[in-house]
C-alpha cells in the first residue's frame, strides 16, 4: 500500500497562489486565512520558501495549515485519521501536478517514494 510522506526538495505545496485554491475560506478561519494571505509572495510562492534548496525556512514554526498531521486534517478538512494517508497523497499529487506538471520529475519522485 502507498505510504504518504513528504519528499525532500519538492516544495510544491509552498506555492500558495490563492487563485489556485479558491476554497481557502471554506477551511481556514479568518485569522488563518489572513496569515495565509500574508505569506503569499509576488510570484505566488510562500515568502518563507527557500526556492534554491526547496525548503521551508521556518519549518519548526510553520503554520498549522502547512502541517500534514491527523488532528489538523481532521479539523480543516473533516478527514478521519484512517483516511489521512490516501487524502494526503491525493493533495500532494494535485499540488505537484499544478506546479510542476503530471509528468514531471517531481511527480515521478513522489510516486516512487510513496510507493505508487
Residues at the site binding ligand SF4, with contacts judged by CB under 6 A: 6-7, 10-14, 16, 39, 46, 48-49, 56, 58, 62-63, 66, 92, 95-96, 110
CB of 24 to ligand SF4, least distance (A): 13
CB of 93 to ligand SF4, least distance (A): 8
CB of 35 to ligand SF4, least distance (A): 10
Residue number, 46 or 84, with CB nearest to ligand SF4 = 46
Buried b (16+ CB within 10 A) or exposed e, 65-88: bbebebebbeebeebeeeebbeeb
Scanning the structure block, which residue is given the C-alpha cell 510516486?
Answer: 111
Residue number, 21 or 62, with CB nearest to ligand SF4 = 62
CB of 17 to ligand SF4, least distance (A): 11
SS (H, E, C) 4-64: CCCCCCCCHHHECCHHHCCCHHHHCCHHHHHHHHHHECCCCEECCEECCCCEECCHHHCCH
Amino acid at each position: 500500500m502507498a505510504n504518504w510522506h513528504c519528499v525532500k526538495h519538492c516544495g510544491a505545496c509552498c506555492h500558495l497562489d490563492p487563485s489556485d485554491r479558491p476554497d481557502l475560506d471554506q477551511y481556514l478561519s479568518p485569522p488563518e486565512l489572513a496569515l495565509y494571505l500574508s505569506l503569499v509572495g509576488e510570484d505566488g510562492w510562500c515568502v518563507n520558501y527557500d526556492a534554491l534548496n526547496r525548503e521551508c525556512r521556518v519549518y519548526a514554526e510553520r503554520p498549522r495549515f502547512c502541517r500534514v498531521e491527523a488532528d489538523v486534517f481532521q479539523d480543516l478538512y473533516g478527514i478521519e485519521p484512517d483516511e489521512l494517508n490516501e487524502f494526503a497523497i491525493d493533495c500532494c499529487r494535485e499540488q505537484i501536478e499544478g506546479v510542476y506538471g503530471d509528468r514531471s520529475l517531481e511527480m515521478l519522485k513522489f510516486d516512487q517514494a510513496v510507493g505508487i
